[in-house]
Amino acid sequence: MTVADTVAHAPTSERRIVDDAIEGFLAGFDPAASVPNDQTWGAVYDAGLSRVDFPADRGGLGVQPDLQWVVDDALQAGGVPNNFNDNIAGIAVVAPVITAFGTAEQQSRHLRRIFTCEDVWCQLFSEPEAGSDLASLRTRAERDGDGWTLTGHKVWNTMAHISDFGLLLARTSDAPRHKGITCFLLDMKTPGVEVRPIRQMTGEAEFNEVIFDGAFIPDTARVGDVDQGWAVALGTLMAERFAVSQVIDNKVPIIDEIIELWRDLDPTSQDAARRDALVQLVVRSRVLGLMRDRVESKFRAGIPGPEGSLLKLAQAELTPDIYNYGLDLLGAGGMLSTGYDLAPPSSWADAGVTGGDVRRAFLRSRAYPIEGGAAEIQRNTIAERILGLPRG
């Protein structure tokens, strides 16, 4: 069943609830008015249109998740600015986790400010020796009165340098691996938290390492039970893999950039071999789009599962191939650098490579098979959880 089919089969009563909420919001929205974006996004939240599957008092309407597509299309047509690219980790990853696992106080404190982008979030999971094998993490949170004292080291934390809060995993006992981990909501301005930029081979520094030296976290910032953070982590990782798809959906498809580059070539360079290679990439891109529709339909219906690994793996393999091809089209000019200044992005919207810079995008694409779960890990997930193969 496609996304369109799922929406078409939504209960009539739920569709009416959504349509009424959209109509009510747009009736009071003037796209020409000079209203700050955070106020507009707050009104969207209050109308229950931020995530329609969330509870009615938490930015949603308590209806079928697929109906969010109806909302997004209507708001875009009505001139409402999109908040997604201003707070990707917060909206795509953290908000679903807080809604599913957080306390009522945590939901009240954080959800609205996530969707208004007043609080920007990052994810604090990976460590120098605990990336794909996340359960081996060593960052510790020790009991300290009515809270916890944090020591350790995280790495590859996207946009941590501009984040107000981070979703953190820490070891809280000596129980083996998965059983001794707890999840926290960390205020990044807490004394004892240091963020250091990591220069990438593109020159930018969208990734960071974060050092904890005696930072204090109140127990009220704990998500879920002590030593039971692995369940939260699994929910987060499923949301993260879906978030990769959302990021792609909110940007110009990269294959379109390469098609434009092809069209700008001198006709003498548009030989049959290059044309055939481009067609193969276009076909793979279209197939990936169909796969994304299917996975998104299940996720929006509240059924996040291992299929997200199929999508993540396919995207991780396709993206470098597309930019390899783009660099080939540039010829010797593809070796020219466009700069190597250490430039931490000032917002989520500026993260990654923008503006059709194929040279920098080629370098940046080397990270795709690693970030968000390495390709090898995705293959393991596919083999064990989808194909049912035995562990080797």
CATH number at residue 372: 1.20.140.10
Please report whether residue 392 resides in a domain.
no
Integer distance in angstroms from the first to the last C-alpha of the chain? 34
Domain match, 104 and 182 both: no
Domain match, 291 and 316 both: yes
Domain match, 320 and 179 both: no
How many structural domains compose the chain? Answer: 3
pLDDT > 70: what percent of the chain? Answer: 89
Domain end: 163, 196, 230, which one?
A: 230
**CB burial of residue 373 (10 Å; 0-12, 13-18, 19+):** buried
Domain end: 199, 230, 261, which one?
A: 230
Domain match, 141 and 197 both: yes
How many Å apart are CA 147 and CA 170, to the nearest integer? 13
Domain match, 194 and 223 both: yes
Please report whether residue 311 resides in a domain.
yes
Average the pLDDT over 115-124 and give the result.
Answer: 96
Domain match, 259 and 173 both: no
Question: pLDDT (tens digit, 9 = 90+) per residue, 277-299?
Answer: 999 999 999 998 888 777 766 65
More confident residue, 335 or 125: 125
Average the pLDDT over 341-369 and give the result.
Answer: 78
Domain match, 248 and 372 both: yes
pLDDT score at 104: 96
Domain that holds residue 216: 121-230
More confident residue, 268 or 110: 110
pLDDT score at 250: 47
Question: pLDDT (tens digit, 9 = 90+) per residue, 342-355?
Answer: 778 888 777 765 55
Active-site hit among 127, 204, 206, 240 = 240
> Which of 26-35, 259-268, 325-334, 342-351 is predicted with the least confidence, judged by mean pLDDT?
342-351
Confidence tier at 251 by pLDDT (50, 70, 90): low
pLDDT score at 59: 95
Domain match, 249 and 224 both: no
Please report whether residue 374 resides in a domain.
yes
Question: pLDDT (tens digit, 9 = 90+) per residue, 210-237?
Answer: 999 999 999 999 999 999 998 888 777 6
**Cα distances (Å, whole numbers) of residue 67 to 24, 62, 100, 235, 356:** 16, 11, 19, 21, 33
Question: Catalytic: 240?
Answer: yes
pLDDT score at 386: 84
Average pLDDT, the chain: 86
Please report whether residue 202 resides in a domain.
yes
Domain match, 214 and 296 both: no
Please report whether residue 223 resides in a domain.
yes
Domain match, 129 and 43 both: no
pTM for this prediction: 0.81
Domain CATH for 19: 1.10.540.10
Range with top average pLDDT, 103-112, 133-142, 295-304, 309-318:
103-112
Domain match, 126 and 226 both: yes
Please report whether residue 212 resides in a domain.
yes
Please report whether residue 22 resides in a domain.
yes
pLDDT score at 3: 43
How many Å apart are CA 72 and CA 164, to the nearest integer? 26
Residue 252 has pLDDT above 70, yes or no: no
Cβ neighbours for 358, distance < 8 A, ≥ 6 positions apart? 257, 258, 261, 323, 326, 327, 329, 330, 334
Please report whether residue 146 resides in a domain.
yes
Average the pLDDT over 10-30 and give the result.
Answer: 91
pLDDT score at 11: 72
Domain match, 11 and 27 both: yes
Question: pLDDT (tens digit, 9 = 90+) per residue, 300-331?
Answer: 555 556 777 888 888 889 999 999 999 999 98
Domain end: 230, 257, 279, which one?
A: 230
Hunting for tokens 């001198």 — which residue is that? 266
> Which of 11-15, 107-111, 165-169 is predicted with the least confidence, judged by mean pLDDT?
11-15
> Which of 9-13, 97-101, 137-141 is predicted with the least confidence, judged by mean pLDDT?
9-13
